[in-house]
Amino acid sequence: MKDNNGKRNIIWEFLHGCRAMFLLSIFSAGIMAFADMINPQIIRMAVDNVIGERSSEYSAFVMKIVNYFGGFEYLHRNLWIMALAVIIVAVVKVVFEYVFRVSNTKASETLVKNMRDSLFKHIEHLPFSWHMNNRTGDIIQRCTSDIDTVKNFVSEQLTSVIRIIILLVMAVSFMLPMDILLTVIAFAPMPVIITYSFMFHKRIGKGFIKCDESEGVLSAMAQENLTGVRVVRSFGRERYEKDRFEKHNEEYTGLWISLGKIMSRFWSTSDILSGIQVMLVVIFGAFFCIRGRMSTGEYIAFISYNAMLVWPIRQLGRMISEMSKAGVSVSRIRYIMDSEIESDKPDAVKPPMDGDIVFDNVNFAYENCPQVLHDISFSMKGGTTLGILGGTGSGKSTLMLLLDKLYDLKEGCGRITIGGVDIADIQSDYLRSNIGMVLQEPYLFSRTLAENIGITRTDITLSEIREAARTACMEETISDFAKGYETFVGERGVTLSGGQKQRTAIARILTQNTPIMIFDDSLSAVDTETDEKIRTALEKHFKKSSVILISHRITTLSKADKIIVLDKGRIAEQGTHDELKTAGGIYQKIYEIQSGNNSDNTIREEVV
């Protein structure tokens, strides 16, 4: 029950701004149902009292209308009045059907917009760890096809419920006065049909869950292959990926075929039961009509009302199916909306960010993984440069992710401070806006070079973009492109080389001009000469900023005010370049290898 309430609440939340339109569509659906009820009564009256000779009893309100038009004798001589009444009712139905379609479409599209906006906003504020644990393709699938499923159910099925209820209530109210026994016969099979439908509901729901989850895996697989197409082709893995995709696609297709068989049995059985119900009404109604228990007009009206009852019953299968699908989709959407977003402490502060950075006994492990960092303690003065050296998996990048609060330190696992303030007490948005970070594999958007460089600010000018590109030694490269700064960068920067992407990312961080700058092996893809040019330009640019350089190149770290060496998640050494190059440790070994004083390749493999 709690889960169901949750589903209703989240749908109600998404309906903000379109509830009035949905109510209008429901009202219009009610008028349409009422119009459907009136026409059989007009036909009944025409057959029995105007054309025929049998007199049927009607309410005082109906007789007042008949007498207003001159009574049955006058209507008998002017049958066009009855025909006109049928046309007027039909026109009313058409008008309100138009209102229903327009209001329902506007409301449903607004609902979709609200859902997409809410989901995107929520996803943007979810922790970095959440994104690491959820596949992008599956998230996209939840934000597209699952939203469409909910929209279809709310706009097509849920709004029809009111119309069906009105049809059922009014049909019964018109059928009972005509013949109570035939009404009981008409409704006798319905409890069986409804019970049978709900028996299938749970089974169909489980099938939709499997199909939806399988579609998410398929979407993730397609997304990964499209974004990583260069890697797939460079290793000649097209056939392997094709076979892998086809295998899962075959499983996905099989799930839908199995579900289709279940639903086919459900729909066919439901149709048989509905057909039996119609047959009983036709046979007994004809028998009653022959025996004089019912008039011809009543029989025709009763058959019309019964057909209106059969329609909702025959639609019950589709409604049960759509309800199952919508329930699964709402649960998948709720998984995102119920995921806890990042939140700051109520008393979070915005302190100056130019103070000393201190790591105090920091220990960290990713979820369900061995510990990465062990008792990391070091400090760097504000406005100085810190170099970090270490082998793959030694925890270099993890240190920076923790400093940027992309991962949170658990209680008792140490603390990180800036200017004496624990980063846990600093507002996350403020902290990140004051820390610029360039990763080894920078992410570029499918936009122009100018837009990628100037993405950190809304008020940036082209001259500032050019200055940043010049400092990052990217100006000359950009000028060689036919469209210059308007050159469109493919997805993830696929049209640029590794060095060009890194230099573009460096230019981007320069436009941000933050008091803390982090370069996570961000010069690994450029040649030594360009590396030196960029470092020289950066030294002039970062006179007041605290700079953290992560690199495997000794030349990149040599001018840092302080260098720490990580080994298997622990600090093995720390000091200046001059101190470490003669300390006899890991740093000296790497220094000798890279300077050509040591050719021991075994050492290279161990420490780099």
Q: Report the percentage of the chain scoring pLDDT > 70.
A: 86
* Residue pointed to by tokens 């025709």: 300
Q: Report the percentage of the chain scoring pLDDT > 90.
A: 10
Mean pLDDT of 42-53: 67
* Residue pointed to by tokens 């934000």: 143
Same domain, yes or no, for 130 and 249? yes
389-400 residue pLDDT tens: 988 888 888 898
CA angle 403-406-407, nearest 5°? 85
Nearest to 303 by CA among 292, 294, 313, 315: 294
More confident residue, 541 or 5: 541
DSSP 425: G
Sheet harboring 357-365: ordered strands across?
371-380, 357-365, 415-418, 421-422
Whole-angstrom Cα distance, residue 581 to residue 594?
12
Nearest to 51 by CA among 76, 19, 26: 76
Same domain, yes or no, for 306 and 424? no
Final residue belonging to a domain, choices 308, 338, 368: 338
Whole-angstrom Cα distance, residue 465 to residue 510?
9
User: Which residues constitute the domain of residue 413?
Assistant: 351-434+518-526+546-608
DSSP track, 481-510: STTGGGPBP-GGGTTS-HHHHHHHHHHHHH
Sign, CA dihedral 349-353-355-356, equals positive
Cβ burial of 230 (10 Å; 0-12, 13-18, 19+) is exposed
**What's the total number of domains in the chain?**
3
pTM summary value: 0.69
Phi, psi of 599 (to 5 degrees): -110, 20
Domain with 412 in it: what CATH number?
3.40.50.300
Mean pLDDT of 493-520: 82
Same domain, yes or no, for 420 and 445? no
Element (H, E) at 375: strand 371-380
Tokens of 88: 């007027």
262 pLDDT higher than 60:
yes
88 pLDDT higher than 80:
yes
SS3 517: strand
470-485 residue pLDDT tens: 888 888 888 888 888 8
Same domain, yes or no, for 449 and 575? no
Final residue belonging to a domain, choices 314, 338, 362: 338
More confident residue, 232 or 603: 232
313-344 residue pLDDT tens: 666 656 766 777 788 888 888 889 888 888 88
Mean pLDDT of 274-278: 80
Domain with 179 in it: what CATH number?
1.20.1560.10
Q: Which amino acid is at 88?
A: I
N residues, the chain: 608
Q: Identify whether 386 is part of a domain.
A: yes
Same domain, yes or no, for 113 and 94? yes
Mean pLDDT of 143-153: 85
| pLDDT, mean over the chain | 80
Final residue belonging to a domain, choices 292, 309, 338: 338
Q: Identify whether 469 is part of a domain.
A: yes
Same domain, yes or no, for 360 and 416? yes
Nearest to 22 by CA among 107, 112, 105: 107
Residue 426: pLDDT band (50, 70, 90) is very high
Whole-angstrom Cα distance, residue 354 to residue 24?
58
8 Å CB contact between 367 and 583 = no
